[in-house]
């Protein structure tokens, strides 16, 4: 049994955020043994209550783990939010996966 943890982060390509990205890779690789990063640029968001969309870069971080430590991920989410100094919500979601 495994879980896929995905962290969705609003992201801009700046020098400061490049340093944060390097730290994300280092921290999560050390804790989980591997990490996968996808940068969607631009990611378009469409909302039903608005006629206009919004484009932004979105970083998707993926980690596979046997157990989900919700307290750790909640803390990590808020640390990311502070370190990126970006308006917009950092989302952490999990999915149960079965390896085939």
pLDDT digits (tens, 9 = 90+) for 1-35: 799 999 998 877 766 677 888 889 999 999 999 99
Those residues with Cβ within 8 angstroms of residue 78's Cβ, 6 or more apart along the chain or in another chain: none
Q: In order of start, what are the domains of the chain with their CATH numbers?
A: 2-45+55-89 (3.30.300)
C-beta separation of 69 from 5 below 8 A:
no
Predicted TM-score of the model (pTM): 0.80
Residue 42 has pLDDT above 80, yes or no: no
Nearest in space to 94 (alpha carbons), one of 35, 28, 8: 8
pLDDT digits (tens, 9 = 90+) for 64-82: 999 999 999 999 999 988 8
More confident residue, 57 or 97: 97
pLDDT digits (tens, 9 = 90+) for 80-99: 888 877 667 899 999 999 88
Residue 63 gets which letter from DSSP?
A: E
């Amino acid at each position: 049994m495994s879980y896929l943890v995905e962290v969705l982060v609003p992201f801009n390509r700046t020098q400061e955020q490049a340093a944060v990205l390097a730290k994300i890779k280092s921290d999560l690789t050390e804790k989980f043994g591997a990490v996968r990063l996808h940068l969607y640029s631009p990611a378009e968001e469409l909302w039903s209550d608005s006629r206009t969309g919004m484009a932004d870069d979105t970083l998707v971080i993926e980690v596979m783990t046997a157990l989900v430590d919700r307290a750790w991920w909640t803390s990590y989410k808020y640390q990311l939010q502070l370190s990126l100094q970006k308006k917009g919500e950092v989302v952490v979601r999990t999915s149960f996966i079965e390896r085939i």
